[in-house]
Structure 1
Amino acid sequence: MSKTKYINFFAILLVLLISSCSTLKKNEKQPVDPRIKNFNFNYYFLEANKQKILGNYGDALELYALASNQDKSDAASYYEIAGILNLAQDYSSALEYAKKAVKHDKFENKYYLLLLASIYSNNNLHKDAIKVFEKLIEIEPLNIGYYFQISSLHQMQKKYSDAIKILNKAEATFGVSDVICLEKENIYIKMGEPDKAVAEIKKLCDAYPEKTINKILLAESYVNVGKRKEAEEIYNQVCDLEMDDDIAYFSIADFYLSVGKYNKAFELINKGILSQNVDLNIKLNLILSLLNNIKVGDTDITNKLGEFIEALVLQYPDDLIVRVLKSDYLLFVGDFKNAQKEYEFILEHEKTKIEIWQQAISIDVALQDMNSLYTHSKEAVELFPLVLDFYRYYIISAYATSNFQDVVEAVDFASPYVEKNHELYIDFLSMQADAYYKLEEFHKSDSVFDLILYKDSENIQALNNYSYFLALRNENLDKALEMSTKLMSLAPNNPSFLDTHAWVLYKHKRYADALIFINQALIQDSTNVTFLEHKGDILFRIDKVDQALEFWEEAYKNNGDNEQLKEKIKQKKILD
């Protein structure tokens, strides 16, 4: 709810208060039965509580105001009004009612005082807030939080000496403790007094010499003030001791990494990784930090990191974050195949996160694994039907794996969404036209090619495929020749396009011209099976049978699975 809305409610509240005063003046000779006032108060207050629970703060504010009209000495109503106004960031109005709540409170309710202190602070009246917390300490002297609140308020005003003083009082009450010493260390660093900062942690070590963690805190304090030699002396003393908290292994390891003592660091990291007492998230954050900061060529660190990750997988074999981390590591070292296996495992257990599908598909692309890309992208488009990138990979992989009906249907679905992206739209249509041809739906194929050329009359891929397909079918050969001729003017040196034009000329029985273009194609790609067979066919048509056989045999040598070519060689003629 906006601040403006709360201010409007406050205006309603003022009107209600004024009107209630007027009513009292009119009826001051007719005292109201206190039982009625008490009934009204309870009704309004309970209804206000109900509205507040429901989140209807405006209605609650109005009802609390009506309740306070019934009993102007009730602190609870003022407290609730102050709380709502504070929530609405109307701090000045909230302060007025918080003061009233404390004034009318008969039992020194600490929650009223805490709200007042908070509102003072929100109004930047830090000194007044401090006085309230001092009052709270009188009421509840063993609540250490009040001392820290006062210290924080002093620090907001950059009164660091006063912040230290109140923490000294806390220390006198509660004794030496890590929370107090660490806070004082932080303040001394802000004050530019590093020796006093370190002294606080030394005091902690002296108070609890049996706690290894305090020695580690002292070493960290030395690092913070730039005394690395002193820090290393302490780390050397404690790294072989039993830890109070196994997280400390990581802290010590971080220091050894910073000074280049990797073997020592790895030994400590391994202890932390294997510990059952360290939270998995802490382990993961450490590994991620190492992975993000590792340099290319740091073989020892890279290998060690792999060992740590394998240890995590053994500990948490079904944790998907661990498996994602392992995959990231495998990608870092270039092991895409095993990274792909990790994502197979991950996708068996988690299919709802788009980022996982994106990474799995990117790995398939990197491996050029079209079968896996087809499987993943097909499922991805079913789960995320409006993510066009998934459709791009689905269409490409479906075509590559001869799932031509999927290509046709996917392009039909995706085309309206990509039509404004001209290049992508044409790519999709090109694959659809080819897919229709493979499905022997030739007229549909021709229609899509016509659409492509209508939108892009110089699209060389469409000119090539369309003219070649027409030539293969012996249909509309004049149109095929027109397109292949245009193709030659646009891309005269492409061997595949040269072969297409040669084949269209062959179908027109212009064998001499066809021979010129097929020779140019073979100059650029002398082992291409299709080019070799086409030249053999052209030579056969001009009665050079022996030469034709040579090219057919060469083609067959490069592709021994072509039974039709084998039969052509056997019969020494073109099979019509």
Structure 2
Amino acid sequence: MRTHLIIAILFLSLSSLAQDHPFYSVNDPKIKENLNKVDPKDYQNAFFNGLRYKILGDPDKALDYFSDCIRINGKEPTPMYESAILYFNKGQLDQAQFFIESACQLEPENKWFQQLLATTYLENGQYGKAITSFKKLLKIDPKNEDWHFELASAYLLNKQARNAIKVYDDLEKHIGPYEMLFQQKKRIYSEIGDKAAAIREVEKWVEAEPRNLEALNELSELYLLSGKQAKAIQILEKSLELKSDNAMAFIMLSDLYRNNKELDKSFDYTQKAFSSLDLGIDSKMRLLLTYYDWTDTDTLLLSKAYTLIDILSETHPNDAKPFTIAGDYYYRDDNLEAAKTNFLRAAELDPSRYPIWQQLLIISFDLKEYEEVITLGESVQELFPSQPISYYFVGLAYMQDKQYGSAIDQLNTGKLMVIDNPNLLAQFYASLGDAYHAQEEIKESDEAYDKSLDILPENTYVLNNYSYYLSLRKKKLEQAAQMMKLCVELSPGQPSYEDTYAWVFYQLKDYQNALVWIEKAISSGGNTSSTIVEHYGDILYQLSRKEEALQQWQTAQELGSESEFLDQKIADQKLYE
């Protein structure tokens, strides 16, 4: 954005103007005649009223009075200039251009008029005319820095980059080496693809200011982009002599040595960058997030990532971010205790970040610390009452503690908080189905499962549980069979699902299909489950294969079954249900 000249124009208020104002030519014979008849005081009064309303922020009235001035004395350019300013500030650039061109015709050597004319051309997209006007201004004052910058800007907008560089070169002759000039020329050369010239400009900058770290960093970056790695390293090491804590140099040297396959040197500089307060924590976090993906399979890099995490937490001990990313790493790597410790510290430092609390709930639940989940979750609900996840985990924790009534209260409250998240809402209803079943509230349990499946009809967890409970009650068995058919299609080879399907067939007295699916369950790994093995025995018994049934019951007993009737089945070699 051009700020050099426009600032002088844009300080006035911006209100709308309804009509254009007429401009009268001084060559009009009627005007000439009237000029001789007008009292000079009328012109002065109109002009000062125009200035007054301009200052008061009423451009419409100001323009009316300046129009009167022009009507009274069309040879005086100042009211035209003032009108141009007001129109410019209102964004009516064509009107502004008309009046300032008229003022410049009457007084072409007035630099203020020419400056506004050039700026108006520039804003109006007439870059060629703007170039001509700024050249005129520089003839008036060849050393004016602002006009040089504006002329260069006009050339750039007019797609004449080389001419813009010449303007900067001319200004440099007047004012000597200047950081902004080097930066501008370097930027232009880079944009037009002249890397060598861009490097020369920054080399001149370094020569003029050999202790300027920004110049050294830019030069090293250009060398790096041009494949001149040795020169880049030389400049970066020079910058470290000037400032031993130059984080940008550390990062660039780390990249250079990594590209050269000198990984130990590269990591040394990365550690120095992480130890430096000169590098912002967000830049360090971005690198660790990149490492997060890389370290999923690279164990060598993983140890380095943990080293950087330790440095980060030591360098920024009062910021939650290092502890948050440490928690993420430890959680991914199944070190739940360390993950929990870091997330707790992050929550202490920044309790306003809900995702940290959510992760703590998940970890505590994974650790089976159900009382802590309840305590922590209820605290989270006070901080974030509209976040449903805390109600969900507290509900699950109450279920694990067999406090089913409290679980139902939490789950019913939490589901009301779910917005635009059908998967989560389905999970709430699924858990409500489990809780109501445990409370032997059968109608409510079935309704909750039905609602869950209405949202996610392919949720295998719900399909299995709902079907199993129906089979135990010997209710809706055809529906249960249909649900389990879908379930085993969605998740083949799951022994618990295949066992449920077998048991639904058992309750339907379809013992042949029951045998098919129980043997699939056994083959899928169910031979280690006392429940599945006992079911196998029951099905064999119903098929009159009693000796084989007894063998399976005995195996179930060896597996530690606590079934109510198993001992009696074995003792009497008879099925009890």
- TM (norm. structure 1) is 0.66
Cα offset for 1:78?
Answer: 3.6
Distance 1:416 1:107, change over 3 A: same
Does the 8 Å CA contact 1:40/1:67 hold for their aligned counterparts?
A: yes
Distance 1:523 1:225, change over 3 A: closer
AA aligned opposite 1:250: I
Cα offset for 1:193?
Answer: 5.3
Paired residue for 1:55?
none
Between 1:125-134 and 1:333-342, the stretch displaced more is 333-342
Distance 1:370 1:225, change over 3 A: same
Unaligned runs of 5+ in 1: 1-6, 19-23, 50-59
Paired residue for 1:314?
314
Does the 8 Å CA contact 2:118/2:134 hold for their aligned counterparts?
A: yes
Paired residue for 2:54?
45
- TM (norm. structure 2) is 0.66
Match of 1:92 among 91, 94, 109: 94
Paired residue for 1:435?
435
1:65 aligns with 2:57: no
Does the 8 Å CA contact 1:378/1:394 hold for their aligned counterparts?
A: no
Cα offset for 1:324?
Answer: 4.2
Cα offset for 1:454?
Answer: 9.6
1:497 aligns with 2:500: yes
1:166 aligns with 2:167: yes
Does the 8 Å CA contact 1:41/1:67 hold for their aligned counterparts?
A: yes
What are the equivalent positions in structure 2 for 1:224-235 lying under 5 Å apart? 224-235=225-236
Unaligned runs of 5+ in 2: 1-13, 25-30, 71-77
Query: 2: distance between equivalents of 1:457 and 1:288?
Result: 40
What are the equivalent positions in structure 2 for 1:135-534 lying under 5 Å apart? 144-189=145-190, 194-209=195-210, 214=215, 217-235=218-236, 238=238, 241-243=241-243, 246=246, 247-276=248-277, 278-280=278-280, 283-284=283-284, 287=287, 291=291, 301-327=301-327, 338-339=338-339, 341-350=341-350, 356=355, 360=359, 379=380, 383=384, 385=386, 404-406=407-409, 409=412, 413=416, 429-448=429-448, 465=465, 468-469=468-469, 472=472, 477=474, 479-483=475-479, 494-498=497-501, 500-501=503-504, 504=507, 520=519, 523-524=522-523, 525-532=526-533
1:13 aligns with 2:19: yes
Query: 2: distance between equivalents of 1:488 and 1:37?
Result: 93
User: What's the Cα RMSD here?
Assistant: 6.0
Query: 2: distance between equivalents of 1:456 and 1:223?
Result: 54
Cα offset for 1:291?
Answer: 3.6
Cα offset for 1:445?
Answer: 2.7
Distance 1:84 1:324, change over 3 A: farther
Distance 1:513 1:128, change over 3 A: closer
Does the 8 Å CA contact 1:468/1:504 hold for their aligned counterparts?
A: no
AA aligned opposite 1:148: F
Cα offset for 1:301?
Answer: 4.8
Does the 8 Å CA contact 1:553/1:569 hold for their aligned counterparts?
A: no
Paired residue for 1:83?
89
State how many pairs are aligned.
Answer: 531
Distance 1:170 1:270, change over 3 A: farther
Distance 1:411 1:467, change over 3 A: farther
AA aligned opposite 1:496: D
> Aligned to 2:416, what secondary structure does the other structure show?
helix
Cα offset for 1:314?
Answer: 1.0
Cα offset for 1:319?
Answer: 1.9
Query: 2: distance between equivalents of 1:489 and 1:296?
Result: 37
Larger relative contact order, structure 1 or 2 (CA cutoff 8 Å, min sep 6)? 2
Query: 2: distance between equivalents of 1:384 and 1:101?
Result: 67
Distance 1:213 1:453, change over 3 A: closer
Percent identical: 21
Paired residue for 2:6?
none
